[in-house]
Amino acid sequence: MKFTAQKIADFIQGTVEGDENISVSTFSKIEEGEKGSISFLSNPKYNKYLYNTQASVVVVNNSFQAEKIFSCTLIRVKDAYVAFAQLLELYQKTKEAKKIGISSTSVIAKSAQIGKNVYISDFVVIGENVQLGDGCKIYAHVSIGENTKLGNNCTLYDGARIYDDCIIGNYCTFHSGVIIGSDGFGFAPQDTQDFKKIAQIGNVIIEDYVEIGSNSTIDRATMGSTIIRKGVKLDNLIQVGHNVEIGKNTVIAAQSGISGSTKIGENCMFGGQVGISGHLTIGNRVMIAAQSGIASNIADDKIIQGSPAFDIAPYKRSYVYFKKLPDLIKRIDHLEKELKNK
């Protein structure tokens, strides 16, 4: 499909600067732009590519000021990054809207309730009493366990697994390899030096607009529910333990792990490879730097770093001294030698 610069500008509430009738049919990075494509520019580091790009249309911020002559048509908007994200989302929705129907190789229990306008791909297994909402897209080799409920317009990519009794909201996206509702890590040490498994009889509740990256796992509760609140975004390769609760609009980067029964507040941001101990309370709007280890409760609005983590300002001051330790040791050794020689 082709769209003119003016139609695109109308959609993202922008202003055309150049040929409003020029058409585009694909997307490109600004440094790799080709004729007939649309790109965007929001980071000043990439300004230099605008003057040589072959992209036909480039979305820029209203504040952008050109320093050289360029050949492309501009669409000026308040926030180029956000506007371009809207275009990508529209393209993705248009692409997926064509996928409707149920594959003959899928296995769907007779008691399952399947909504309207769904797409169920090859070798999907849907268990007894499952409720699948309208507009859901279920890709190949997905399995959905008994008594699980999915809201409207959910997307489960290839190989995702949802165990029994889970409750999923609307507009959720689970990428390939995601596992929802596997057993929590519950084992009781015995006098015989081995471990006895504790049955995990709870479930997982995931609210609306949650997105979970590939190969992430969310364990079912021992009793009660593991809860992921509205708008949470989890990256790839994240482990969420049993009975954890993650507050709404919290985002967590890849390879992070959250131990059982920890409660995380709203609007938090965690970097990659953050590790959080069990039974802790993390406040609202907390920011945790990558590779930090959390072993105690954190109050609202804290920014922390380190392992064990503490407030980022004293951490940075401490790190200055840490980097100087080799030189300090040399100086101490030199002073000790001088004192011995006196």
Which tens digits make up the pLDDT trace of 64-78?
A: 999 999 999 999 999
Q: Is the pLDDT of residue 315 over 90?
A: no
Which two three-digit tokens encode residue 28? 């490109």
Comma-separated ranges of CATH 2.160.10.10 domains in the chain? 101-312
235 φ, ψ (degrees, to nearest 5): -80, -175
In the structure, what pLDDT confidence band is assigned to residue 254 with cuts at 50, 70 and 90? very high
Measured CA to CA, the distance from residue 84 to residue 233 in angstroms comes to: 19
Please give the class, per CATH, of domain 3-97: alpha beta
Mean residue pLDDT of the chain comes to: 94
216, 197 contact by CB (below 8 A): no
Helices (H) then strands (E): counts for the chain: 4, 40
Handedness of CA 62, 48, 39, 175 (dihedral sign): negative
60, 40 contact by CB (below 8 A): yes
Choosing from 175, 242, 279, 334, the catalytic residue is 242
* 44: CB partners within 8 A, 6+ apart: none
* 77: CB partners within 8 A, 6+ apart: 12, 13, 14, 15, 59, 60, 61, 62, 83
Looking at residue 336, what is its pLDDT?
Answer: 84
Measured CA to CA, the distance from residue 57 to residue 87 in angstroms comes to: 13
Comma-separated ranges of CATH 3.40.1390.10 domains in the chain? 3-97
In the structure, what pLDDT confidence band is assigned to residue 86 with cuts at 50, 70 and 90? very high
242 part of the active site: yes
Higher-pLDDT residue of 98, 237: 237
Looking at residue 87, what is its pLDDT?
Answer: 94
> What is the number of alpha carbons within 13 Å of residue 51 lying toward its C-beta?
8
In the structure, what pLDDT confidence band is assigned to residue 323 with cuts at 50, 70 and 90? confident
Q: Is the pLDDT of residue 322 over 90?
A: no
Q: Is the pLDDT of residue 98 over 80?
A: no
C-alpha distance from residue 70 to each of 26, 75, 177, 339 (Å): 20, 13, 44, 70
The DSSP letter of residue 30 is: G
The fold of 101-312 is: UDP N-Acetylglucosamine Acyltransferase; domain 1 (2.160.10)
Handedness of CA 188, 191, 195, 196 (dihedral sign): negative
- Nearest Cα to Cα of residue 57 among 70, 48, 68: 70
On the 0-12 / 13-18 / 19+ scale of CB atoms within 10 A, 63 is exposed
Over residues 272-285, the mean pLDDT reads: 97
